Copies of this chain bind each other. A is one copy, B any other.
């Protein structure tokens, strides 16, 4: 029998607070009935929401705090004044071993700053990254970094590759995930210096790596499922992610208008309803909500701030699965296994 699982939730995070977090937790519990919850935040508001979810109430412990970090607070403010806030105490529950993962829909910058402070980085990792699960025409892939840092050295890009691959292995069950470096072309001469250097290092180390490095990929290959893990520095990665979200929304608008063109198209759309339901599911960002912070001594999952209970439950599920599959141990082992191997100077870099 599996050991018991406890997840810590920042009940005050996101645009809606407990009114979304609590029903989201209840939904996730219905899928993983062995979960225990630590709910951190305003006790009165949490209790008011719990009334409608007796199963969750039985498995939840409330940690009260009056403090909450605002969606507009800067990371520096969170570090200075965040002690004792719902986000802080949620992360502390993971640090103290009371919970196996922290899930928050609170502000990304503050959550990353506090996660780094409280959970600390895995030895050997220079920088944590934010990963996203990206839908493709095949199985979802993992893209990172989608906004933890601006820019990345070759060494950091390789760390991202390793962390993303560990997550793909644990999360998607792929023994030797394929990894690509996002670039502006697939030829060796393309890209900035960091990307080219990471490419050279990965190529020459490939047989010894715990993943299969496939070289450069371009933006249009992500959604085609060309590789299991797409590595990119956080500025371009964040822009790619949001551009894809925006394009999906834009096409959904086109499609709605096109189906409302005439009485005949409306009847057609009605008949095709079951097909549109499938499409809607494939395009629903709630089905892949939850961006894990990778590279820390503990699991933090960032949920979209504006999501609803269905979306938040997906992020809770992700925390559950990553804890169950021991992704952190896997990353730590992989980093240790290649320690030193990737730091050697490369032939082309001699002069």
Report the copy number of this chain in the oligomer: 2
Please name the 9 residue pairs, one residue from A and one from B, whose CB atoms are nearest each other, closest first.
A268-B272, A268-B271, A219-B242, A220-B246, A219-B243, A223-B250, A265-B275, A258-B275, A258-B279
**Residue in B closest to A108 when the chains form the complex, CB atoms:** B185
> Which residues of B lie under 8 Å from residue A222 when comparing CB positions?
243, 246
Q: Give chain A's interface residue range (CB within 8 Å of chain B).
A: 35 or more
Instruction: Mark interface residues in A267-285 (1 if CB within 8 Å of B CB, else 0).
Output: 1111111111011001100
Q: Knowing A243-B222, A255-B279, A261-B275 are in contact, say whether A184-B235 is a contact too (CB < 8 A).
A: yes
Q: Is A337 part of the binding interface, using a Cβ–Cβ cutoff of 8 Å?
A: no
Q: Can you list 28 A-B contacts (CB < 8 A)?
A: A136-B250, A147-B184, A150-B184, A184-B234, A184-B239, A191-B235, A192-B235, A218-B242, A219-B241, A223-B246, A232-B239, A240-B243, A243-B244, A243-B247, A244-B244, A244-B247, A247-B247, A247-B248, A251-B251, A254-B282, A255-B255, A259-B275, A264-B271, A265-B271, A265-B275, A267-B268, A267-B271, A269-B275
Q: Which residues of A contact B (CB under 8 A)?
A: 72, 74, 135-137, 147, 150-151, 182, 184, 187, 189, 191-192, 218-224, 232, 234-236, 238-251, 253-255, 257-262, 264-265, 267-276, 278-279, 282-283
| Bound-state Cα–Cα, A241 to B135, Å | 18
> Which residues of B lie under 8 Å from residue A151 when comparing CB positions?
192
**Residue in B closest to A189 when the chains form the complex, CB atoms:** B74
Shortest CB-to-CB span from A252 to chain B, Å, is 8
The answer, among B187, B189, B246, B268, for a CB contact under 8 Å with A221, is: B246
| Bound-state Cα–Cα, A280 to B260, Å | 15
* Structural contact, B224 and A246, CB atoms closer than 8 A: yes
| Bound-state Cα–Cα, A260 to B250, Å | 23
> Which residues of B lie under 8 Å from residue A273 when comparing CB positions?
265, 268
**Residue in B closest to A76 when the chains form the complex, CB atoms:** B189
| Bound-state Cα–Cα, A288 to B244, Å | 19
| Bound-state Cα–Cα, A151 to B150, Å | 13
* Structural contact, B268 and A254, CB atoms closer than 8 A: no
Shortest CB-to-CB span from A281 to chain B, Å, is 10
**Residue in B closest to A223 when the chains form the complex, CB atoms:** B250
